[in-house]
C-alpha cells in the first residue's frame, strides 16, 4: 500500500542505519578540523591516509609541528594553499552502530551555494561557532538555510573553548543566544557541545578540561540520535527519469522512489495527465522485486501501454501530487546579479525543466531575526545570498508537492537561460492547480484514445441556485392555489394561503442560505473545505 511502511527488501534489513549530516558555520570556525580529528580519534582514518596527513601537515599545515586535521578533508590545492574550504567535501565512514555520510561545507559567504548543496540531502547539521566570536551573521544565515532545506536536528558545536579558558559561562551564553534566535526555525532538537576540535575534546571522548559538561560526546550523540524517516510513510512518488526500452519486448520507466512504496499490482496515477493504471513489474538491479521503498532506484512497468515521458510522475491515486502552473516558493538567491522579475528563467524540479518567470517578491527573510518581513521599497527583489518569498508563473504545468511534505518533489532550482548558471534554490510552499491545463491534457489524451473529451461540471453558485428555484416556485404556488380553491371555492382565501406559502418559502430559503454560509466560514477557520452544496 502507498504510504505504509513496507518490509525492507532482502539484503537491506540487516544494514546499519545511515545518517547524513553536514558541518556548517562561519569561516574559520573549525569545520574541517572537527571532521578530521573525529575520524582520527575514532580510528576511522586508514594508515596510508595518516601518513599522507603527516607529510601534508609539514607542507601545508597551520598547526606548527602538530597534525593539521583539516587536511584530511580539504583536498583541493586551492583549499590547502589558502587554508579554507571551497567545495563540498563528502566523507563516508562507519562505526559499529551506524553509517555516516558527512558533507563538510565552506563558511565563506561567496560559497553559500555550495553549503546549500550539502544541506539539501542532510538530516542533521553540526553547526560550529567560534567561542571567541559567538553567533555571527553567517552562523545565522547557515541556520536559516538548513532549516529552510528541511534539516530538523542541530548539534551546536561551540568550538575553540581552550581560547576562552574552557569557561562554562561563555558556553552557556552562546547556547542561550542561539536557542533564542532559532526558536522560529522549526528545529525539533538542538544539542550543544563545548569542543576543542584540534585537541579532540568532547569529540570521541569526554574532555578532562570541561568536567562541568554532562552528556554524550559528539560521536556518541551522532550514533544515537533519532531522525525522521518520514519518506517511508509519505504518499508514493516516482518521478520518471528515463524511458527504459532495451528491446521491443520491454518498456519500463526508471527513476528514484521519492516517497512511500510500490508493489506489483498497485494502482498508480500518471501525472500530469491524471490516468490511473496498474504496476506490472518492479525491476531492480538484480532482477524483479516484490516491492520498492523510498530511497531505491528501480524500473517500473505498467499493465497498459500508456504514453509516459521523462518528467512525468507516478503517484498514489489516494493522495496525488499537485499539478500547477503558478507556485508560491521560498528562494535562496545564489548569484551577485539581483533577481529580475518577469525575466525568463528555467525551473528544474525532479526530472522536469520548464520556462518560468518570477512575477513578484513578496517578502525577505531578515538574517538577524530569521523571520520574513515585507519588502519596503518598490521594485526591490533579492540580492546575493538573500532569502525571500516569491510568486512564480510557469509556461507549462508541473507536478510537485509542498517542500515540507516531500523534499525531493518540492525542491527546485532556477537556471539562467543565457549563462546556464544556477541562480537560485527554491522550495515550493504552495502550488495552484492548473485546471485549464489539466483539462487540456486530459482532452488531448482522450482524443488520442478515440474517447469523448472529459466533461467539466459547472460550479454551482447562490445566484444560479436562485435562478433555478424560480423555475419551480411559481409552478408550486400555482399548484397550491389550485388545490385550495378546489376544496374551498373561496377565491380570497385561496389567494391568501398561496401568498403566505410563497412568503414562507422565501424566508426558509434565506435562512437556509445564511446557515450554509456560516457553516462554510466555520469550516474555513478550522482548515476544512467549505461545503459544496449551493443551497438549492
Contact 393, 380 (CB under 8 A): no
Residue 139, marked binder: no
Report DSSP letters for 431-480, one per residue: EEE-HHHHHHHHHHHHHHHT-PPPP-PPPP-HHHHHHHHHTTHHHHHHHH
Residue 477, marked binder: no
Name the grid cell of 232.
Answer: 517511508
Residue 161, marked binder: yes
Name the grid cell of 359.
Answer: 512575477
Cα gap 159→171, rounded to integer Å: 9
476 — phi, psi (to 5°)?
-65, -40
DSSP state of 285: T
Cα gap 66→33, rounded to integer Å: 12
Neighbours of 498 (CB within 10 A): 20
Residue 162, marked binder: yes
Residue 180, marked binder: no
104 — phi, psi (to 5°)?
-85, 115
Q: Give 303-310 contacts, CB < 8 A, sequence gap 24+.
A: 303/277, 303/278, 303/279, 304/277, 304/278, 305/251, 306/270, 306/275, 306/277, 307/445, 307/448, 308/240, 308/243, 308/253, 308/270, 309/240, 309/243, 310/240, 310/241, 310/242, 310/243, 310/351, 310/352
Residue 200, marked binder: no
Cα gap 348→291, rounded to integer Å: 29
Residue 87, marked binder: no
Residue 43, marked binder: no
Residue 471, marked binder: no
Residue 307, marked binder: no
Residue 288, marked binder: no
Q: Cα separations (Å) of 78 from 31, 32, 74, 83, 440? A: 17, 15, 9, 8, 54
Name the grid cell of 502.
Answer: 410563497
497 — phi, psi (to 5°)?
-65, -40
Residue 27, marked binder: yes
Residue 102, marked binder: no
Cα gap 385→362, rounded to integer Å: 17
Residue 309, marked binder: no
Residue 325, marked binder: no
Residue 422, marked binder: no
Name the grid cell of 491.
Answer: 377565491
Nearest-CA neighbor of 354 among 346, 364, 362, 344?
A: 346
Binding site, annotated residues for GTP: 25-32, 104-108, 159-162
Binding site, annotated residues: 25-32, 104-108, 159-162
Amino acid at each position: 500500500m502507498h504510504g505504509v511502511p513496507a518490509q525492507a527488501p532482502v539484503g537491506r534489513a540487516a544494514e546499519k542505519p545511515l545518517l547524513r549530516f553536514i558541518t556548517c558555520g562561519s569561516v574559520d570556525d573549525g569545520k574541517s578540523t572537527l571532521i578530521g580529528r573525529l575520524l582520527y580519534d575514532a580510528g576511522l582514518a586508514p594508515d596510508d591516509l595518516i601518513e599522507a596527513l603527516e607529510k601534508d601537515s609539514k607542507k601545508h599545515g597551520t598547526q606548527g609541528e602538530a597534525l593539521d586535521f583539516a587536511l584530511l578533508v580539504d583536498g583541493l590545492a586551492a583549499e590547502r594553499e589558502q587554508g579554507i574550504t571551497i567545495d563540498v567535501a563528502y566523507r563516508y565512514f562507519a562505526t559499529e552502530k551506524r553509517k555516516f555520510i558527512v558533507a563538510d561545507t565552506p563558511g565563506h559567504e561567496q560559497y553559500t551555494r555550495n553549503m546549500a548543496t550539502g544541506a539539501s540531502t542532510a538530516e542533521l547539521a553540526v553547526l560550529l561557532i567560534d567561542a571567541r566570536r559567538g553567533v555571527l551573521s553567517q552562523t545565522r544565515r547557515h541556520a536559516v538555510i538548513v532549516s529552510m532545506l528541511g534539516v530538523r536536528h542541530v548539534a551546536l558545536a561551540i568550538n575553540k573553548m581552550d581560547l576562552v579558558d574552557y569557561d562554562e559561562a561563555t558556553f552557556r551564553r552562546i547556547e542561550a543566544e542561539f536557542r533564542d534566535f532559532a526558536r522560529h526555525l522549526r528545529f525539533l532538537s538542538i544539542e550543544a557541545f563545548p569542543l576543542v576540535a584540534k585537541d579532540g575534546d568532547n569529540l570521541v571522548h569526554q574532555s578532562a578540561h570541561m568536567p562541568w559538561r554532562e552528556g554524550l560526546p559528539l560521536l556518541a550523540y551522532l550514533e544515537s540520535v533519532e531522525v525522521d524517516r518520514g519518506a517511508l510513510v509519505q504518499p508514493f512518488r516516482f518521478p520518471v527519469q528515463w524511458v527504459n526500452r532495451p528491446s521491443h519486448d520491454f518498456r519500463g520507466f526508471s527513476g528514484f522512489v521519492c516517497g512511500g512504496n510500490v508493489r506489483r499490482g498497485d494502482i498508480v496515477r500518471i501525472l500530469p495527465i491524471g490516468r490511473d493504471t496498474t504496476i506490472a513489474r518492479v525491476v531492480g538491479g538484480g532482477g524483479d522485486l516484490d516491492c520498492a521503498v523510498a530511497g531505491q532506484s528501480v524500473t517500473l512497468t505498467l499493465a497498459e501501454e500508456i504514453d509516459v515521458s521523462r518528467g512525468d510522475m507516478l503517484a498514489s491515486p489516494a493522495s496525488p501530487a499537485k499539478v500547477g502552473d503558478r507556485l508560491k516558493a521560498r528562494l535562496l538567491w545564489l548569484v551577485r546579479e539581483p533577481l529580475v522579475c518577469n525575466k525568463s528563467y528555467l525551473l528544474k524540479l525532479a526530472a522536469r525543466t520548464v520556462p518560468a518567470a518570477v512575477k513578484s517578491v513578496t517578502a525577505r527573510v531578515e538574517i538577524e531575526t530569521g523571520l520574513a518581513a515585507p519588502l519596503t521599497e518598490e521594485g526591490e527583489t533579492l540580492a546575493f545570498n538573500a532569502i525571500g518569498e516569491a510568486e512564480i508563473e510557469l509556461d507549462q504545468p508541473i507536478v510537485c508537492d509542498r517542500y515540507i511534505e516531500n523534499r525531493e518533489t518540492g525542491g527546485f532550482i532556477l537556471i539562467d537561460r543565457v549563462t546556464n548558471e544556477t541562480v537560485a534554490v527554491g522550495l515550493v510552499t504552495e502550488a495552484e492547480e492548473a485546471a485549464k491545463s489539466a483539462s487540456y491534457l486530459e482532452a488531448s489524451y482522450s482524443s488520442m484514445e478515440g474517447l469523448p473529451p472529459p466533461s467539466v461540471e459547472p460550479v454551482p453558485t447562490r445566484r444560479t441556485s436562485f435562478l433555478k428555484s424560480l423555475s419551480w416556485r411559481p409552478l408550486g404556488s400555482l399548484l397550491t392555489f389550485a388545490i385550495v380553491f378546489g376544496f374551498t371555492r373561496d377565491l380570497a382565501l385561496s389567494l391568501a394561503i398561496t401568498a403566505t406559502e410563497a412568503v414562507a418559502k422565501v424566508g426558509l430559503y434565506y435562512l437556509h442560505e445564511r446557515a450554509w454560509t456560516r457553516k462554510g466560514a466555520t469550516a474555513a477557520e478550522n482548515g476544512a473545505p467549505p461545503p459544496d452544496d449551493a443551497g438549492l
